[in-house]
Amino acid sequence: MGQTVVAPRLIRTLCVAMLLAALSACASIGGGEDRAGGIPRVTDPAPIVSGTMRPYQIRGRWYRPSEQPNYDETGLASWYGDAFNGRPTATGERFDMNALTAAHKTLPLPALVEVTNLENGRRVVLRVNDRGPFVDNRI
């Protein structure tokens, strides 16, 4: 009779141990968010890429890149998909449509920017690695 009591207890103990092991596998150290602000973080940008601070002209309009430590702008962003995926960016890296990157007409390359969705308040930090968008009413 002692064995019939031990077997269910042993099975129950093993099940609890397996459940705890499975749950601990779901834990993470460090996560994908900055602990201070709860904003998903990306890698720090490399130093400014040589040549990306020179003035340039697109469709007859001149753009002059500059350091803008207090940059703050509200507007509509563009999204580039399959047609640009894999093409070189202004920094020379390949565009990855699934990466947390952005384009800007005049910020230094690369740079980090915090983008806020004004409809839901969610924020994310993106790495600026390209020039653009060169479409009216887009930032």
pLDDT at 72: 94
Contact 16, 10 (CB under 8 A): no
Is the backbone of residue 36 left (phi > 0), alpha (psi -120 to 50) or beta?
alpha
If you classify domain 32-139 with CATH, what class do you get? mainly beta
For residue 2, the SS3 value is helix
- Those residues of the chain that have pLDDT short of 50 are 24, 26-32, 35
Sheet holding 111-116, edge to edge: 101-103, 123-130, 111-116
- Residue 41 sits at the vertex; the CA angle it makes with 97 and 112, to the nearest 5 degrees, is 75
Give the pLDDT score at 27.
47
Rounded distance between C-alpha atoms, residue 19 and residue 57, angstroms: 61
Residue spans per domain, the chain: 32-139
For residue 52, what pLDDT is reported? 82
d(CA 23, CA 27): 7
Residue 78: predicted pLDDT: 87
pLDDT at position 28 is 45
pTM of the predicted model, to two decimals? 0.65
Pairing state of beta strands 111-116 and 123-130? antiparallel
pLDDT of residue 51: 72
